[in-house]
Structure formats: structure tokens, C-alpha cells
Structure 1
């Protein structure tokens, strides 16, 4: 009897040990497959160093921009208030995207695969913030164009309170457009990780993809890809280009007949120099915007969503370019602005207060248009 009991105990221990060994092996295999799938779309040799560098530069640049644009002398102007919002939105974009890439590439930890809520919410926020970033730049161009042309509308549109309301309206609209992600993105599946002597062990895994149903996949593959393409790149670029053309025409070809000429009273030459800086800045913004995001447009038009792993190098390059747009925006709309530089020097205590006041007075009218 004692022998049978000992034998039974020994068999149970062997069975438990065998099960644990199998579980460990299967989990190792699962982690290895997960790691492979993470790097399948992008090349980690490119994304690893880029994510760290870009996140570091973008964090410093956007933080400095937000501090400068929220100073008292700047935040009372609508354009600078938009740019303060843009700094925060770009910072969120970088941490949502690059932060998750760093966790995946270095620690094999994917935020979206932890649970279904994080899958939906992280994907939703990523789309909302990237679209919002493009549209803030678009509103900046519209704000400048209105400030140079329509005086009556300028008094109502180009105000700080109006900027706050417009930004809130954009947040709500873009969130509603992308709300389907919260409803249909991702699924939870149960897989068998061990089966011994009719004893099966299961594990829940999160599949964070749009391929949750045939209907949603067809919607995401065609209609929504077109919506995303137009709302993220094409429509903002067209509007920015039109606004830049309007500003250039008003400033270079009809300056003597505009209300602007009456406002500045004898300071036309200085005003023209400042006005040209506005147009140059808008041109650079538009040019860099389209150069950095054009590859994404090409990828969305010609890539099959199910065949993304065939374009690892191309996807890695487009990833690098798109996040550079969010990380380096402060260089384009901040460092190129005399008002930005003056305020930054004042914050750092390295500017002459008298010279700062004189220069601020010189560009006083043009602060409503963003430089």
C-alpha cells in the first residue's frame, strides 16, 4: 500500500513537471513568435536608434515651444495659442508612437497587446492626435490668411477665446470620425498552450488589428484608408497651400492697397520684411509637411494591408519621416520666428530688455499672424 502511494505520488510529480516544462516551452515559443511579429512590419535596426533619438529631441523641442508660446506676451494672440496646443499634441503623438516602439523593440512589451481596452484606446489616441496635429497647422494657416485679408472676421476669428473653442471643436470632430476604432478594433482569442492527458491549459491573447470581421476589414482597408489619407495629409496640405498663396498675394502684390498698410502707418518697409518672413515660413511649413508625409500617402495607395511585412524597409523610412514631422515642428514654426527667439532669450535671461521691447513693438501687428 505504501509502495502504491509512493508510486502514485512519483507519477503525479512527473506529470506536473512535464506540464510545467511544456508550458514553459510553449510560452517561450509564443514570446519568440510575438517578438518576430512585432518586428515584421518595421526593421528594428532602423527603428531602435531612431525612436530614442527622435523622442529625446522631440520632448525637449516641444516642451520648450509650449513654455515659450504660453508666455503672457504670446498666449494672448490666437496663432501662438494654436502653436502651444500643437506642441502638446505633438508631444503626445511622440510618446504614444515612439514610446510603444521603444517598449516593443527593447523589452518585447506591446502596450496594445496587454488587454482589449488598451488596444482600442491606444490605437484611437494615435489616430486622433496625428490628425489633430495636421489640422492645427491648417488652422494656423487659415488664421494668418484671415488676419491679412478680412479685418471684420479677424476681430472674431483671430482671438484667444476663439482659438480655444476651435481647438475643442476639432478635438470633438476628429474623435467622432475615429470613434469606430473604440468599437471594432482588436479581438480577444483563447489559445491552447498545453494539452496532456486530456488536461488543457488556455491563454487569452489580444489580436490588436482591424481584421476582426470581414465587414470591418473591408471598411478599414478602403473607405477609412481614403478618409485617413485625405484628413491627415491631402486636405490640410491643400488648405495650407491656398492660405500661403493668399498671404503671399496680399503681402507682395497688393500691400499698398490693404488695411494692413493703414494699420502700420509709415512702417511699410519693416512690415514688408516681417510679412515676407510669414510667407517664407508658411512655404517651409508646407514644403516640409508634404515631403515628410508624401511617402505615407504612397504607401497607403499602393500597399496591401495584409502584405505590410513585404515593405519593412519602406515602412521603417516612412515611420522615421512621419515622427520627424512631429519632433522637429518646433524648428520650423518656432526657431524661424523672431518673436519666438526674443521670448526664448528673455526666458533664458540673455536678451537686452530695451531691445526686446523695441523689436516686439516693431512686429506688434504681425503677432496676430504668428510671427
Structure 2
């Protein structure tokens, strides 16, 4: 996650050093100085890779997440907790894409950085970036927990796996994650006044926003060490561990521990259909776990092995990492939506494809088995 944020912050850090070195040169025109700063080839990513990727990924992610939100909020789906979470996930991922890739496109194509406009934007944009990326991972985690409970603990299922419970849990996650990242609103970024002298010894002043965590020695050490570990665990490691455990519980419950009680309560035909549907969700969760760790593992490696404030030395690696991490937010709708028959049926209904009577019958059939799968 830190790479997503440091796309702007590390560049600002490098530019800050360049500003100080340039200011020591007497009689440097302000316009020349600004031009030199903008053209400094020290970005931590390669624009030749990120420029086309940013536009394509933002386009696909916008359509996919918007479409997913519309589908998951349909009457026949929003009454189930799982689809409620996925609707929230679609919105959160959409915000992540516009915060990160939107600012990236503005910087690469229009030389305009949102975070460098004023200190409030610096703090708020950085804060939202961390909150939404963490929230995205934890929504995926809660989906796995929701499904594990749904197919194992019947008593808890009635209380936990409900739409109202999903709303409350999502709100609680927003509050907790916001509190964990609240230090950004207090200490991130600083203002600097730079004095320039022209040929005629006329002084001019420039207010510059340094949107970095290098505002004090204490905060720099906190952000680079303790908080970096917190970010690593909360964004990748803990969610992946929980998702893996939940996927294992679901797989064991469905493949090895299907109780005879279920067989007695339902007909063999319904049991077979329910088991088949439940196996689909189990396979999907395993695939999601694998995709999650594959796409975000490079971030973990980068955080562990890259030198502090030396990200510009790994431009190609950081570019690939950026591509993979944002793909995780842009393509979630593919992994969830395509694996869910209810999603496909509802989508066809929205697009006016297929026989409406058959569609309604399929939705009714799928609705019988939402306690064990999507």
C-alpha cells in the first residue's frame, strides 16, 4: 500500500531536495526553476508503463465497479449480507482507483498534482488513500468470514449474516480504520516559503507544499518503521491469513463434513444442488485468496527490501507493482461477478437479455441456497 501513496510522496521528497539545491543558485528565474522541477527524471515509476495503464485500468475499473454496484443493490440481491458487502466493495474500489490513478493521470498528462495544491488536500487525499485501500482488503476478509459462518455456525448465522449486520460491520470498519490512520490528518505534509532572486535582485516568494511524512524526525521514524509494519499487516498479511483460514473451513465443511442432518431435512436433489452451489463459492474464495496474494505480494517485498526514500532506484519494479496493486481494485468485479450465477442472471435481467420468466425462475432457485454460497 505504501507504494500507492509514495507515487506522490517520494517524488515530492526528491523535488524538495532539488528545490533546496536550486535555490542556492543566485539569480535563477522562478519560471526556469519550476520547469526544472517538473522535468526532473526522478519519479519512482516509469511513465511509459504507467501512463497507458492508468487510463485503461481506470476505464475498466470504473465500468466494472459501477456495474457491480448496480447489480449488487438490486432488490433480489441486497437482502443478502454477502452481496451487501460486495456492493460496498465496489464503491470503495472505485474511490481507490480515482484517488490513485486519477491523480496519476493528472500528474503525468497535465502536470497537476492534487496533493501539492494546499496542505489540506495533501492530508485529506493521503488519508483517504490509506483508509480506502485498507477498507477494500478488510471487506474481502469479512466476506470470507461471512461465508464461513454461514455454512458452519447456524446460530451465529442468523445474527451475523444479515443485511443490517453487514451495514453495522461496514460502518464499524470505517471508523476503526479511520482512527488508525488519523495521524495522517495531523502530521502529514508541511508548508515552505521559498525565496527566489532574479537578475535585477528582485525577490519573489513561492509557497510550496511538501506532501511527505518527513515533517519531523519523530514522525518520519514512526511512519517508516512502526506504521510501515502496521500498514503491511493490516493491508495484506492479516486479511490474507484470515481469508485462507475461512476458505479452509468452508472447504472442509463442504467436502468432508456434510452432515447427515442436512440430508434428512432436504431432498437429495436439493442437497445435491446446494452442495454444488456451495462448492462454487469455496472454489471462488480459494481463487480470490490466490489472486489477492499474487497481486499484492510485490508490495510486501518492496516494503521489506527497498531502502528508505530510495524508491526512485527501482522504477521498473515499482511500475509493475503499481500495475498489479491497482489491478486488484479494478478487477475484483470479474473474480466475484463471473463466479456468481446470481450476478450473471441479474446482469442479464438489467441488460434485457434472455427470457425474463426464466430469469425470475433462476433467481428463485439460487435464492434457496444463499446460506451456503453466493
Structure 1 residue 83 and structure 2 residue 65: aligned? Answer: no
Conserved? CA contact 1:143–1:369, under 8 Å: no
Structure 1 residue 36 and structure 2 residue 40: aligned? Answer: yes
Structure 1 residue 54 and structure 2 residue 57: aligned? Answer: yes
Question: TM-score with structure 2 length normalisation?
Answer: 0.89
Give runs of aligned pairs for residues 1-150 of structure 1, distance below 5 A: 25-36=29-40, 40-150=43-153
Structure 1 Cα separation of the partners of residues 261 and 246 of structure 2: 17
Deviations 1:163-182 (A, max 9, x none): 00000000000000000000
Which of 307, 312, 317 is residue 314 of structure 1 equivalent to? 317
Structure 1 residue 242 and structure 2 residue 245: aligned? Answer: yes
Pair 1:264–1:355, CA change in 2 (3 A): farther
Conserved? CA contact 1:79–1:368, under 8 Å: no
Give the unaligned 5+ runs of structure 1.
1-21
- How many angstroms does 1:23 deviate by? 9.0
SS at match of 1:41: coil
Q: Give the number of the structure whose residues are more often helix, by fraction.
A: 1
Deviates more, 1:188-197 or 1:333-342: 188-197
Which of 299, 302, 307 is residue 299 of structure 1 equivalent to? 302
Answer 1 or 2: higher relative contact order, Cα 8 Å, separation at least 6.
Answer: 2
Q: CA RMSD in A?
A: 1.7
Structure 1 Cα separation of the partners of residues 229 and 166 of structure 2: 28
- 2:282 corresponds to which residue? 279
Conserved? CA contact 1:80–1:370, under 8 Å: no
Give runs of aligned pairs for residues 251-290 of structure 1, distance below 5 A: 251-257=254-260, 259=262, 261=263, 264-266=266-268, 267-290=270-293
Deviations 1:296-347 (A, max 9, x none): 0000111122111101111111000000000000000011110000000011
Deviations 1:185-239 (A, max 9, x none): 1111111122566642110100111111110110011100000000000000000
Pair 1:185–1:353, CA change in 2 (3 A): same
Structure 1 Cα separation of the partners of residues 261 and 312 of structure 2: 55
Deviations 1:270-315 (A, max 9, x none): 1121111011100111010000000000001111221111011111
Conserved? CA contact 2:44–2:315, under 8 Å: yes
Question: TM-score with structure 1 length normalisation?
Answer: 0.90
Structure 1 residue 365 and structure 2 residue 368: aligned? Answer: yes
Structure 1 Cα separation of the partners of residues 70 and 318 of structure 2: 33
- How many angstroms does 1:256 deviate by? 3.2
- 1:182 corresponds to which residue? 185
Aligned residues: 348
- 1:208 corresponds to which residue? 211
Structure 1 residue 232 and structure 2 residue 250: aligned? Answer: no
- How many angstroms does 1:117 deviate by? 0.5
SS at match of 1:189: strand
- 1:11 corresponds to which residue? none
- How many angstroms does 1:349 deviate by? 1.2
Conserved? CA contact 2:29–2:196, under 8 Å: no
- How many angstroms does 1:362 deviate by? 2.7
Structure 2 Cα separation of the partners of residues 111 and 368 of structure 1: 45
Give the unaligned 5+ runs of structure 2.
1-25
| Bigger CA radius of gyration | 1
